Amino acid sequence: MTKKPIIISLAVTAAALVLALLLPSEINMALPYDRYALFHFGLVSAENEHCKWGFIDEFGREMIPFEYDEVREFDEYGVAVARKGKEYYMLDTQEWHIGNAAYSFVDTVNCKPGTYIVKNDGKAGIVDSQGKYVLAPEYDDLDGFESGFARVCIDGKWGFMNEDYEIVIPCKFDKEYWFGIPECTSAAVNDRWGVIDSKGDWIIEPQYDRVIALDSTEYFEAYQGGYYFYIDRQNIIVSNKYESFLDLDKERPFTLNREEETYPEPEYKYPELKDYTVNNEGSISKVYNEKGEEIFSTEGYIYNFTTDGYAQFYTDWWKCGIIDRFGNVVVPPTYYGISDMNWDGL
């Protein structure tokens, strides 16, 4: 009688070990989220011969069915976006439809971290990574945030909200151009364009066919009667008039000062990978270390290695697989596409 608990304990331990071997590897879950990695939460998207997308694990096993027309990689909150026909879904790593809902659109561009713009039944709102609404779906349209503001449309009229989801510029404009300059933007009423400030007051009254507040808070590109020209905040024309906006650029009265989006330098799980070079010679690819020594060669075309130690490779028939940093094929080249990008648009 006293031996039974020991036997049961050993059986449970053995079962746990078997499950640990059979379940998908979750080594990436213990690491900080890395947009440069191939696998996110142990999964990567792939496309099969029927042009359907799903997710496989680090052993090439199908973990999320190949039934979607498009997918977006998992983000740092463990959410992937997938489209099936005209319906969009938010997926977790177990392929549960987050919020148990299908949307007419899901957008992640310029959203606050861990939030997603969703649209359904002609209305837009914002949900979190659990599918719970943080902004009720009562808007005609919503855009992502730039410089702390987002465009919002109510009853066909546009305004702006701040990152606390408060309307700071009333929805009273027919149209707006928003280029991330918080001090001003161009707006239109009754098909006439002008420039408004951050409170929604007119800097330049609506009077032009088109005005664009693109790169400056002091000068704006205007279009009227078939001609392009620059105006200043006092509504004084400060350039010649041109039939082409390309010619107008020669008289630009300000210097462009655009800041490109930057990302931190990738941190490799295996530091030596950042010095690897790949030389694709015909149907053979060779991989070299920082000293120029050949590490391995293989048939197919190899992409550069990602930070988690994997690389995509293609065969002559342009089927895609995954290879590790030692040259071992971990996913055979049976897929027509494998994604290594955490891109924002679908």
* pLDDT tens figures, 190-243: 999 999 998 899 999 999 999 988 778 899 999 999 999 999 999 999 999 999
Q: Residue 8: pLDDT above 60?
A: no
The residue range of the domain holding 318 is 271-338
Please tell me the total count of domains within the chain: 2
| Distance, CA of 64 to CA of 46 (rounded, Å) | 10
Hey, what amino acid is at 207?
A: Q
Shared domain for 245 and 292, answered yes or no, is no
Query: Lowest mean pLDDT: which of 49-63, 175-189, 217-231, 301-315?
Result: 175-189
Shared domain for 333 and 195, answered yes or no, is no
Backbone angles phi, psi at 228, to 5 degrees: -105, 145
Tell me if 33 is assigned to some domain. Answer: no
Q: Which helix (H) or strand (E) holds 5?
A: helix 4-22
Output b/e per residue, 49-66; b: 16+ Cβ within 10 A: eeebbbbbbbebeebbeb
Tokens of 66: 């190949």
Tell me if 114 is assigned to some domain. Answer: yes
Query: Lowest mean pLDDT: which of 70-84, 135-149, 173-187, 216-230?
Result: 173-187
Tell me if 25 is assigned to some domain. Answer: no
CB atoms within 10 A of CB 151: 21
Compute the mean pLDDT over every residue in the chain, rounded to the nearest whole number.
85
Query: Lowest mean pLDDT: which of 7-21, 37-51, 63-77?
Result: 7-21
Tokens of 247: 């010619």
pLDDT bracket for residue 260 (50, 70, 90): low
Q: Are strands 115-120 and 105-107 parallel, antiparallel or unpaired?
A: antiparallel
Shared domain for 66 and 183, answered yes or no, is yes
Query: Lowest mean pLDDT: which of 66-75, 181-190, 248-257?
Result: 248-257
Q: Are strands 105-107 and 87-91 parallel, antiparallel or unpaired?
A: unpaired
Q: Residue 142: pLDDT above 90?
A: yes
Q: Residue 24: pLDDT above 90?
A: no
The contacts of residue 243 (CB under 8 Å, 6+ apart) are 226, 227, 228
Shared domain for 96 and 132, answered yes or no, is yes
